[in-house]
A and B are shown apart, each in its own frame.
Chain A
Amino acid sequence: MSQSFDEISAQLRRRHRKSARLKWVSMGALGLAGLFLVLFFADMLVKGLPAFQQAQIQVEVDYSEQASQLPLAAVQEDVRPLVSRGYLRLIPGRMEDNPDLLGTTRMEWVLADGQVDQYLKGHHSKLSGSEQTVVERLVDQGRAELRFNTTFFTSGDSKMPELAGIAAAAMGTVLTLLVTLAVSFPIGVMTAVYLEEFAPDNRVTQLIEININNLAAIPSILFGLLGLAIFINFFGVPRSSPVVGGLTLALMTLPVIIIATRTALRSVPDSIRHAAFGVGCSRWQVVRDHVLPLAMPGIMTGSIIGLAQAMGETAPLIIVGMVAFIPDVGATFTEAATVLPAQIFTWAGEPDRAFIEKTSGGILVLLTVLITLNATAVVLRKKFERRW
């Protein structure tokens, strides 16, 4: 006599309970991860968004003979401590460039000191009581407000928070990644093509394969040490430069690109290779005309992800000296430069409170670029995905 439905159901109840429990646990884990992500983003946005605004005040600027010698004299004494030192310093230069200014007095919106900025944003500031009164007066008169912070996007690092920007670091990142891409993409792709399409399957290639896979798991700081030892000490590449940073990151990106390319090549069906060999293609023609074009979307996706990883990398760049203080935008490949994550790292160590928002602002910029890159990779993959 077989079991009735009721009997079987009774036994099944325990199994169903178990799977329900597992489902809840995994959903809980997902929820927790989501919560952390939301918290992180919210915190970054709250702390970082103010960095995109900067206080400016409207003051009378007196382009007198005296001001060309002593810039402080250009503004009235009561607002003098409220104006950015960096702005005042530029006055003599501007008068030289534009002699018409001499002897005139104009009302101008000028960059305020970082402390005014912090005060207006409601943070703790070092302004004295009387200075605070002046700021309040200016606000009442509509002569002090928070405006969009172009300085943040157009200038390099500075010890004065109101003048500090990410432009130099962004430029350094672009140059560094150009070097990384130029080195790791061709070498990585050709290595993968050789291993996948040409190399015999023997001990040597297996050993190389294992080592490439291991390379992908090496802590990135070791690549920095390698870069320091080989590129700087042995080959004499200038330290702190985008060239040495790019080469170091290329070492790190290589295994990622090789592995992605091999996977992409392997996903091209053999029937295509056979067809190409069948019409008399040489091995290289098979690869160049048929296999590589089909594998390209996968290779691109992998390379973009590898580059995005390299872009967020800080540790190896610290070792090769790319945490430099770079006030000027417009670096070259061989001059000292810094990169976005290194800039964030530098700012995070600044004692001035105003740099907290710079740090978060820099993180927001970096995250935006990274998310854009990864989204591009996903879109590429979806767009060119091919079913066989």
Chain B
Amino acid sequence: MTGHSAGEPVTRNAEAHHQLSIRVRDLNLWYGDTQALKNINLDVYQKNVTALIGPSGCGKSTFLRCLNRMNDLIPGVRLEGLVEMDGRDVNEAKMDEVALRRRVGMVFQKPNPFPKSIYENVAYAPRMHDLVSRKTDADELVERALRDAGLWEEVKDKLHQPGTSLSGGQQQRLCIARAIAVQPDVILMDEPTSALDPISTATIEDLMDKLKRQFTIITVTHNMQQAARVADYTAFFHLGEVVEYNDTQTMFSNPATKKAEDYITGRYG
């Protein structure tokens, strides 16, 4: 197994059960005149946790938002290259970003539940996508999503209270329940624990470990220990490039590049 340097395609010698989820080739992105992503090549494997690490401003969040086209919302963003999922380029003209986001869910840095009831937070998206029609179906789906997010026991008696009345950690798990309620293939997490206390963080990390049986998870984190704990694969971003992409164990015990080693050992960051 070798690490890779920028420019070359990154293909991990995947084991048989590691099927490709998202394939990224030669991805370049500009904010106006500033290039934020340079020649990104990355393969994301199904039902694994992939962590994106790197110093602030290295482009890892920008990259994450390419995967469900959230960058479309930012004026002045220009993008080149291929982001392929299920054999389709997600940026092609025919691709509906709503369909894409239905299959690629997202959890944000700061918990952002809708200012509606806990129940509505989870039931809203499935209802909007016509996944449920009857009330009993919706009830079932809400319970399943909240159970999967490890929140059911805490909120089952107050489903109709506002989602914003929960604690920060609970709100973030509610946001995870909201994301998984539409049964996406991939869940993007943009520093999901950076606004949480250590105990809530640990809960979310455990949850990611459970959720990867059903979903492909891609998470951005500033916390190296977190990447080491939860991720199967880790990509190290620096100045808009993927410096190294490896399985987590190799990345943390025996990094192939000097830059990654320096970052991981805390020499800069």
Are B115 and A272 within 8 A (Cβ)? Answer: yes
Are B178 and A279 within 8 A (Cβ)? Answer: yes
Are A277 and B128 within 8 A (Cβ)? Answer: no
Chain A CB within 8 A of B175 CB? yes
Chain A CB within 8 A of B124 CB? yes
User: A361: shortest Cβ distance to chain B, in Å?
Assistant: 46
User: A59: shortest Cβ distance to chain B, in Å?
Assistant: 68
Are B101 and A278 within 8 A (Cβ)? Answer: yes
Chain B CB within 8 A of A201 CB? yes
Interface locus among A39-47, A230-238, A281-289: A281-289
Question: In whole angstroms, what is the CA distance A386 to B115 when docked?
Answer: 10
Q: Of A271, A276, A289, which contacts B110 at CB under 8 A?
A: A271
Chain A CB within 8 A of B70 CB? yes
Are A280 and B175 within 8 A (Cβ)? Answer: no
Q: How large is the interface on A (under 10, 10 to 19, 20 to 34, 35 or more residues)?
A: 10 to 19
Q: Given A200-B75, A289-B124, A278 and B114 touching (CB < 8 A)?
A: no
Are B115 and A277 within 8 A (Cβ)? Answer: no
User: B79: shortest Cβ distance to chain A, in Å?
Assistant: 17
Q: Which residue of B lies closest to A271 (CB)?
A: B112
| Contact residues in A for B125 (Cβ distance below 8 Å) | 279-281
Are B128 and A275 within 8 A (Cβ)? Answer: no
Are B129 and A280 within 8 A (Cβ)? Answer: yes
Mark each residue of chain A from 150 to 171: 1 if its CB lies under 8 Å from any CB of chain B, else 0.
0000000000000000000000
Chain B CB within 8 A of A353 CB? no
Q: Given A200-B75, A272-B115, A289-B124, A279 and B105 touching (CB < 8 A)?
A: yes
| Contact residues in B for A201 (Cβ distance below 8 Å) | 75
Q: Given A201-B75, A280-B102, A275 and B114 touching (CB < 8 A)?
A: yes
Q: Quick one: which of A236-281 are within 8 Å of B by CB?
A: 271-281
Number of B residues with CB within 8 Å of any CB on chain A: 25
Are A294 and B115 within 8 A (Cβ)? Answer: yes
Question: In whole angstroms, what is the CA distance A386 to B106 when docked?
Answer: 25
Q: Of B70, B102, B114, B129, which contacts A272 at CB under 8 A?
A: B114
Are A275 and B113 within 8 A (Cβ)? Answer: yes
| Contact residues in B for A200 (Cβ distance below 8 Å) | 75
Chain A CB within 8 A of B68 CB? yes
Are A279 and B75 within 8 A (Cβ)? Answer: no
Mark each residue of chain B from 86 to 100: 1 if its CB lies under 8 Å from any CB of chain A, else 0.
000000000000110
Chain A CB within 8 A of B149 CB? no
Are B128 and A278 within 8 A (Cβ)? Answer: no
Q: Of A271, A282, A289, which contacts B108 at CB under 8 A?
A: A271
Q: Of A275, A282, A285, which contacts B175 at CB under 8 A?
A: A275
User: A291: shortest Cβ distance to chain B, in Å?
Assistant: 11
| Contact residues in A for B107 (Cβ distance below 8 Å) | 278
Q: Of B68, B115, B129, which contacts A278 at CB under 8 A?
A: B68
Task: Sample 16 A-B pairs with CB under 8 A, ordered by A number.
Answer: A271-B112, A272-B114, A272-B115, A275-B114, A275-B178, A277-B70, A278-B68, A278-B105, A279-B124, A279-B125, A279-B128, A280-B128, A280-B182, A281-B128, A289-B128, A386-B115
- Given contact pairs A280-B99, A280-B182, a sample of 20 additional A-B residue pairs in the complex whose CB atoms are under 8 Å apart: A271-B108, A271-B110, A271-B112, A272-B115, A273-B73, A274-B70, A277-B73, A278-B68, A278-B101, A278-B107, A278-B179, A279-B124, A279-B179, A279-B182, A280-B128, A281-B128, A285-B128, A289-B124, A294-B115, A386-B115
